[in-house]
Amino acid sequence: MLLIESAMFLPSKLMKRAAWAALLLLCSSSHAHGQEKECVVQFSVYDPVGASLDFHITRVSPPSDAKENVLSKEPRVMTTRANLLLFSDRRFLGRTLDVLLEGPNGAQITTRTVLTACRLRRSLFFGKSDLGPDVNGIAVSGRLSGCQFAGDWWVRAVTMFGGHEGSADYAVDGYVESDGSFTLVLGPLGVRRLLVVGHGKEALKVTAVDVTQGKSSNVGVIDLKDSCPK
């Protein structure tokens, strides 16, 4: 009990050093596991309409201290190749890391990532499509065709790529009218979305739509004649 109580009063800098020392202890014994297959985490960055952007990893840090960089410490247990983070020691799996990526013209993205698997992909977006007006939501409408639209039909919109955490965006479900028409009011983030059309527990079709803050969008007619539920 005394040890626990004493630890609560350690200065924050000392706590950061202790956290880094624990990570280095993990790193120092990694060579014994160096023969294992290399793990890869891919960080892919996209603009608001889904075009790939050239970002590369420049820093990997424990959440307790953003100034530390695992990539520059010895022994070297993590390396990078452009947007790929490479490591061999499986004991990193399950750990949380803050990753800094840099792109053209000094652009930067920092993302907190949990290493949940040895082969992992993390998608991110940079920038947003915005006409300027301050709005609470973006309206997207369209019409389904080719089926009888009775029963539990739905349309669900989600961001195509990750990295929207904290951006006031969220998944939205839309009601389907008997003539197949629908309207969804999305969050205010102007980035590419996926529209998933479904009935009951089945997803029947997926289509993509680019949305812009301050502007309504219409996806037109989504033909489901080959996907109608039986």
Please give the residue that has the higher pLDDT: either 188 or 111.
Answer: 111
Predicted local distance difference test score (pLDDT) of residue 4: 32
Q: How far apart are CA 116 and CA 97, in angstroms?
A: 11
Q: How confident is the model at residue 187 (pLDDT cuts 50, 70, 90)?
A: confident
What are the pLDDT digits (tens) for 92-132?
999 999 999 999 999 999 999 999 999 999 999 888 776 66
Domains along the chain with CATH numbers = 35-125 (2.60.40), 138-223 (2.60.40.1120)
Give phi and psi for 161, each to the nearest 5: -115, 160
Q: How confident is the model at residue 59 (pLDDT cuts 50, 70, 90)?
A: very high
CB atoms within 10 A of CB 129: 18
Predicted local distance difference test score (pLDDT) of residue 76: 87
What are the pLDDT digits (tens) for 21-31?
555 555 444 44
Q: How confident is the model at residue 36 (pLDDT cuts 50, 70, 90)?
A: low
Evaluate if residue 33 carries a pLDDT over 70: no
Q: Are 78 and 85 in contact (CB under 8 A)?
A: yes
pTM above 0.95, yes or no: no
Q: Are 70 and 78 in contact (CB under 8 A)?
A: yes
Q: How far apart are CA 224 and CA 211, in angstroms?
A: 23
Predicted local distance difference test score (pLDDT) of residue 131: 62
Secondary structure string (H, E, C) spanning 177-230: CCCCEEEEEECCCCCCEEEEEEECCEEEEEEEECCEECECEEEEEEECCCCCCC
